[in-house]
């Protein structure tokens, strides 16, 4: 079937201002709207046999592991405490701002929170525990924006199922790859130059209930017309031709009832997807959008062009914004504190320029251990160890401690709150102690955490920052979207 023209497909292009559709105003972005038919008994999404997640580099198998001797850890922790830099780092230049209460905006009908992070929060266990701690009903917690990291290993999104062909490539902002300086809302794009690339998503919630009758695909319009094939709820394919001014654009799907599944195939590209969006339901009390990407660094905020995001958000989209980076920055050897300080300051400055009215929070990374392989001939109970003097167990601890100090100073200079995961864990050596817990709270790589570990961290932050059900008890009653 030949691609339909705009008139034949009953489409029209408008300057989208949002007030009439229940979306917050996001600026004059060209939006193509199309009516689609949703089914009440839509079949489950079935991924094609050849469907695979986009390729990503997997770390080599580290092989058998061993934990360092507890006495060695404690000895080096003691030495670390005696030589710690303390508060000797130079102060951050700039005027210190008065910091307003972090959750003061919770008095509004909906508390809107946007979180950008690396792999720690991309996994979703930390933020899901924060949601659980509110004691809100499941239907009172919702996401509005979904980043363009569909099918990316290590990322858990609020979608029931995702099918992605191998024709897509990720463009994270921190990687400085083609297209990365104009990233989507989650600081990452999904791009395909191969006609025939496809992706499918099941939009239903965990209970299998469809919730969204309006779904928006955020993408980059090219100079030449784009042609996509869409299928809603397993129905008939519909070819859509997209054309207009080059830049950010929206394809909005409207149905009379909630959409269950959506499949997209690129017939004529290249096509760059920047995310998904849908309206927040009237009874939602907490909107939490999580934009986490494995391997990400805060440098993505420094490298992007702010107009890439301000065009989406011309009104304050969030009451609170959160930035949780540092682990990948600390992995660069040698770590130069002054270089990191300059990068962080430039990144936070861009971040605050986009969200000047939101309360803000910086989260510093937790402790990290040194991964050790078992020596040949040893076993897990009686490993053959290397000479103690050659193993610096505090190698990453020193770096993360310094990163935390720099983040704390930068947060204060920009009027932001600060929470230190490193200190909450127990400081130096806590990575090894958490790994020995039963059940373990630290993963075997001594970088990431187990599910109970992420849950424990969320509980610790909630206690330190006053996050819990009491925040939502006295807030105003929800109001219907316009």
Q: What is the pLDDT of residue 292?
A: 96
pLDDT confidence of 325, banded at 50, 70, 90?
A: very high
Name which residue leads in pLDDT, 40 or 397.
397
Q: What is the pLDDT of residue 375?
A: 52
Strand partners, 188: 172
- Residue 441 contacts residue 126 (beta carbons within 8 Å): no
pLDDT, tens only, 270-286: 999 999 999 998 899 99
Lowest-confidence region among 240-249, 256-265, 378-387, 471-480: 378-387
Angle at the Cα of 287 from the Cα atoms of 285 and 288, rounded to 5 degrees = 135
pLDDT confidence of 20, banded at 50, 70, 90?
A: very low
pLDDT, tens only, 221-257: 999 999 999 999 999 999 999 998 888 999 999 999 9
pLDDT confidence of 312, banded at 50, 70, 90?
A: confident
Q: What is the pLDDT of residue 202?
A: 96
pLDDT, tens only, 42-85: 999 888 754 444 444 444 444 556 778 888 888 888 888 877 65
Q: Work out the widest C-alpha separation in the chain, in whole angstroms.
A: 75
Name which residue leads in pLDDT, 100 or 239.
239
Average pLDDT over residues 284-305: 94
pTM over 0.75: yes
């Amino acid at each position: 079937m030949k691609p339909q023209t705009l008139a034949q497909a009953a489409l029209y292009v408008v300057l989208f201002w949002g007030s009439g559709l229940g979306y917050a105003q996001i600026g004059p972005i060209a939006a193509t709207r199309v009516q689609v038919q949703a089914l009440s008994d839509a079949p489950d999404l079935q991924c094609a046999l050849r469907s695979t997640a986009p390729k990503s580099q997997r770390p080599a198998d580290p092989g058998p592991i061993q934990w360092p001797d507890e006495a060695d850890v404690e000895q080096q922790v003691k030495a670390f405490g005696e030589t710690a830099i303390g508060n000797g780092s130079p102060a951050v230049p700039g005027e210190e701002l008065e910091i307003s209460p972090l959750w003061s905006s919770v008095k509004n009908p909906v508390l809107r929170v946007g979180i950008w992070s690396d792999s720690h929060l991309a996994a979703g266990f930390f933020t899901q525990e924060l949601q659980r701690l509110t004691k809100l009903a499941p239907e009172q917690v919702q996401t509005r924006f979904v980043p363009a990291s569909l099918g990316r290993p290590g990322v858990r999104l609020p979608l029931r199922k995702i099918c992605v062909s191998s024709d897509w490539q990720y463009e994270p902002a921190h990687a400085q790859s083609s297209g990365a300086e104009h990233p989507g809302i989650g600081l990452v794009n999904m791009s395909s130059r191969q006609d025939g690339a496809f992706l499918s998503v099941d939009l239903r919630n965990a209970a299998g209930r469809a919730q969204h009758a309006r779904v928006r695909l955020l993408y980059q319009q090219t100079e030449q017309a784009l042609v996509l094939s869409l299928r809603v709820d397993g129905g008939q394919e519909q070819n859509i031709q997209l054309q207009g001014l080059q830049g950010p654009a929206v394809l909005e799907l409207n149905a009379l009832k909630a959409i269950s599944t959506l499949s997209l195939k690129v017939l004529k590209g290249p096509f760059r997807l920047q995310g998904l969006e849908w309206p927040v339901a009237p009874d939602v009390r907490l909107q939490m959008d999580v934009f986490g990407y494995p391997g990400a660094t805060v440098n993505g905020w420094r490298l992007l062009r702010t107009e890439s995001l301000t065009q989406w958000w011309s009104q304050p989209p969030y009451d609170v914004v959160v930035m949780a980076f540092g682990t990948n920055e600390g992995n660069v050897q040698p770590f130069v504190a002054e270089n990191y300080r300059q990068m962080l300051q430039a990144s936070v400055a861009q971040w605050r320029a986009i969200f000047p009215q939101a309360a803000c929070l910086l989260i510093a990374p937790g402790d990290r251990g040194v991964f050790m392989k078992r020596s040949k001939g040893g076993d897990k109970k009686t490993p053959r160890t290397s000479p103690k003097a050659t193993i610096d167990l505090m190698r990453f601890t020193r770096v993360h401690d310094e990163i935390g100090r720099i983040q704390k100073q930068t947060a204060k200079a920009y009027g932001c709150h600060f929470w230190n995961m490193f200190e909450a864990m127990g400081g130096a050596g806590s990575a090894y102690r958490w790994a020995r817990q039963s059940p373990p709270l630290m993963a075997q790589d001594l970088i990431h955490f187990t599910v109970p570990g992420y849950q424990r961290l969320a509980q610790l932050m909630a206690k330190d920052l006053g996050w819990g059900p009491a925040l939502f008890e006295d807030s105003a009653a929800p109001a219907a979207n316009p």
